Structure 1
Amino acid sequence: MGVSFLSTFPSLLPIARDSSLTTPRYPSRAVSISCNKIEIDVSDEGGLHRREVLKCFGATIGLELIGSSPSLVGIANAADLIQQRQRSEFLSNIKGTLNTAIKGNPDIIPSILTMALNDALTYDKATKSGGPNGSIRFSSEISRPENKGLSAALNLIEEAKKEIDSYSKGGPISFADLIQYAAESAVKATFLASAIRKCGGNEEKGNILYNAYGSNGQWGLFDRQFGRTDAEDPDPEGRVPIWEKASVKEMKDKFSAVGFGPRQLAVMSAFLGPDQNATEALLATDPDVAPWVQKYQRSRETVSQTDYEVDLITTLTKLSTLGQKINYEAYTYPVKRIDITKLKL
């Protein structure tokens, strides 16, 4: 008998944070002033220490001169690294907020997953409209039949957004980003809970097992897709099935419309309504989907769950960017300008 992805919500425990950096947009060139690693935080309101300045004096000079010397690509790289650090730290804090919220509401995980899926599957390839743009937050969309029961998940997102916006230095986070990152946190929480169960409920051993054998590192590409823009209006009706009432054909047709096949349909079974076991039983009746359902059920019974976890992360990453143009400078903010003539070295 297959092991359900969402079988024991009450045992969910805190999940480890992670972060990733994006790749600099500027090519490397030889310049007289450059810095490969920035160890100072020029946005720190507490001021700078002499030792910190000495560690990366070239970057300090570059940040002071960048306005008048835009051709210095090496300096642009230094500024770019600062933006990456800003985004990475902000994303880490977001995950901490979401982790805490989900830990306190483990029963809401299925709704969070379905909400992320339904927000994304409004994407229409023909018109290049819809997708994971946060439109599900509108009352006229969240109240549609396919979104029945998702209001509690949206409430959690709204409360998390208030907290996140209160500490954001680069402007409010978009619902589009927050909904997809809530799904990531929910998935991680479930995998961690599974690892803890396999260790007889021992939290410490479960964390070690998950970090040692899990696929936490596979989230790198997902984390880089940070900077979605919110829709200004609800997406058109009729684009998302009512999952618990849909036939396998209807599910296959919807997934096919956004470029997914039976493999992706099977791996996303936990997102298709409130009861994963019922969904998988239905999917197993289809000869195209059944082999994948069985493959992932077997994978979930292993210690590492590698096949299932990697395919799930890969599919969710693609789903979370359908039709979206990512702003890789989102949530960054101007750094404090430094008057080097006043530094006491």
Structure 2
Amino acid sequence: MGVSFLSTSTLPSFLPLGSHNPKTATTRCQPRSVTICCTKIKTGVTDEEEQLRWRRRDVLKCIGVTIALESITSSRSLVEKANAADLIERRQRSEFQSQIKGTLYTAIKGKPDLVPSILTLALNDALTYDKATKTGGPNGSIRFSSEISRPENKGLSEALNFIEEAKKEIDSYSKGGPISYADLIQYAAQSATKARFLASAIRKCGGNVEKGNLLYTAYGSNGQWGLFDRQFGRADTQEPDPEGRIPIWEKASVQEMKDKFSAVGLGPRQLAVLSAFIGPDQDATETLLASDPDVAPWVQKYQRSRETVSRTDYEVDLITAFTKLSTLGQNINYEAYTYPRAKIDITKLKL
């Protein structure tokens, strides 16, 4: 015989029943009681067997729900741990960068005459990049004696010695392994560039260092270096880059300079703004570049900008061009210089 039973259940408001009513589409659905009618059909099994079957179903449902909840909890835990680990690594890299900048700032302050050579060292290490073969670039190859001794690198040995000395100090406190020459050369050029920006601000304040620092803090471009700082993790090459990829800047024509910059994806605008990186005398370089109709308007633009208080056009464009230059063809390892956190031995804790 058939047995039927009735039960009532309150459905949640997010499960509306019945047909859609446009007049109440924006009205929050209220809980409602409905009657669910279930019919037990006679199948030749006893009541005890049927009850056992229902109990098994309930148990299996509970197990399924438990497994699902545990999976969700486990996944959330893994995501939280991954995010926490990422934040720790970013903080480690940021702290290491701050230490590097402090070391380089102090070292450059003691040897301001080296600034032009440090800039050219970074330029020549980067411009070995070849788009066709995807080789070269700012990979630290200029550290090899066979490359630094080439004619185009004449006069840069002292700047390389500066890099070597800074590297020794930085490696002594690095917790994530030695810094690459590729990174250090570009970061030294960044510090040298900042030193020039600051020196200009001090000159605008009549040589008053304190006022110059305040001027650069208020109007300077320090906040524009964010993208450059993220490109931290260049790998060193293990051999010199091929010869013939860098012009001898003192002898090169403007057209040769334009061709070289064009070969790596930079144009007359970048050539003009990076004039401080080309040879020891920026004024002489700009005078030469101003003779070219493609480059002259940009030279004049940046000369005018440098006369303003903020120097915004010049400094922002220089930072942008230098950032692109400093990453030509490089695969950045964003986990470089990170290190495992020290584990705490709870057995040695004093409770």
Partner of 2:95: 89
Gaps of 5+ in 2: 1-73
Among 116, 124, 147, the alignment partner of 2:122 is 116
> Contact conserved, 1:98 with 1:185, CA < 8 A, in 2?
yes
| Percent of aligned positions that are identical | 85
Instruction: Output the CA distance in 1 between the equivalents of 2:152 and 2:343.
Output: 50
Among 308, 313, 317, the alignment partner of 1:311 is 317
Equivalent residue runs for 1:212-251 within 5 Å: 212-251=218-257
1:280 and 2:286 equivalent?
Answer: yes
Q: Deviations over 1:57-98 (max 9, x none)?
A: xxxxxxxxxxx9897111111111111111111110001111
Among 190, 206, 217, the alignment partner of 1:184 is 190
Q: TM-score, normalised by structure 1?
A: 0.78
Q: RMSD in angstroms over aligned alpha carbons? A: 1.7
> Contact conserved, 1:262 with 1:292, CA < 8 A, in 2?
yes
Amino acid of the structure 1 residue aligned with 2:258: K
Instruction: Output the CA distance in 1 between the equivalents of 2:320 and 2:314.
Output: 10
> Whose radius of gyration is greater, 1 or 2?
2
Instruction: Output the CA distance in 2 between the equivalents of 1:266 and 1:154.
Output: 25
Q: TM-score, normalised by structure 2?
A: 0.77
Instruction: Output the CA distance in 2 between the equivalents of 1:203 and 1:73.
Output: 49
Among 122, 126, 132, the alignment partner of 2:138 is 132
Q: Secondary structure at the match of 1:243?
A: coil
Deviation at 1:338, TM superposition (A): 4.0
Q: Counting strand residues as a fraction of each chain, which structure ranks higher? A: 2
Q: How many positions carry a matched residue from both structures?
A: 278
Task: Name the structure, 1 or 2, with higher relative contact order (CA <8 Å, separation 6+).
Answer: 1
> Contact conserved, 1:133 with 1:228, CA < 8 A, in 2?
yes
Deviation at 1:200, TM superposition (A): 1.1
Equivalent residue runs for 1:66-81 within 5 Å: 72-81=78-87
Among 291, 301, 306, the alignment partner of 1:300 is 306
Segments of 4+ moved more than 3 angstroms: 68-71, 338-345
Amino acid of the structure 1 residue aligned with 2:338: T
Among 330, 338, 349, the alignment partner of 1:332 is 338
Amino acid of the structure 2 residue aligned with 1:111: S
Instruction: Output the CA distance in 1 between the equivalents of 2:324 and 2:309.
Output: 26
Question: In 2 relative to 1, CA 70–136 (structure 1 residues): closer, same or farther, beyond 3 Å?
Answer: farther
Deviation at 1:151, TM superposition (A): 0.3
1:103 and 2:109 equivalent?
Answer: yes
Q: Secondary structure at the match of 2:250?
A: helix
Partner of 2:4: none
Deviation at 1:337, TM superposition (A): 2.5
Question: In 2 relative to 1, CA 69–125 (structure 1 residues): closer, same or farther, beyond 3 Å?
Answer: same
